[in-house]
Amino acid sequence: MANTIENAIHNKLRLRIYYPPGERIIEPHCYGIGSKGQHLLRAYQVSGASASHEREHWKLFRLDKMGDAEPNGETFDGPRPGYNPDDPVMKRGIIARL
């Protein structure tokens, strides 16, 4: 899954993921490692399920909770407003970013 995410970031590909409570379409922006060693993905969700009911918004996803990730055939133009390429939650390092 990590290779899929890195490729999607570098090529600005939208991903279809499964993350509780359901399927989502996201634009991945930054992939890195959190303070406890967890792999994290900062992405802009454009549609789909949301536990917070914010279906279009910035989200932080833990890869160990993500069920699937695959390109959905769509691209995106570039960073969304509010994107921070030095995401502070990636305390142990950033693996890939826009």
pTM of the model: 0.95
Confidence at 48, pLDDT banded by 50, 70, 90: very high
Q: What is the DSSP string of 9-43?
A: HHHTEEEEEEETTEEEEEEEEEEEE-TTS-EEEEE
Residue 5: enclosing H or E segment and its boundaries?
helix 2-11
Summarised one tens digit per residue, pLDDT across range 54-94 is 889 999 999 999 998 999 999 999 999 999 999 999 999 99
- The pLDDT assigned to 61 comes to 97
Which H/E stretch holds residue 71? strand 68-75
Count CB atoms within 10 A of the CB of residue 20. Answer: 10
Does residue 42 register a pLDDT over 90? yes
Three-state secondary structure call for residue 91? coil
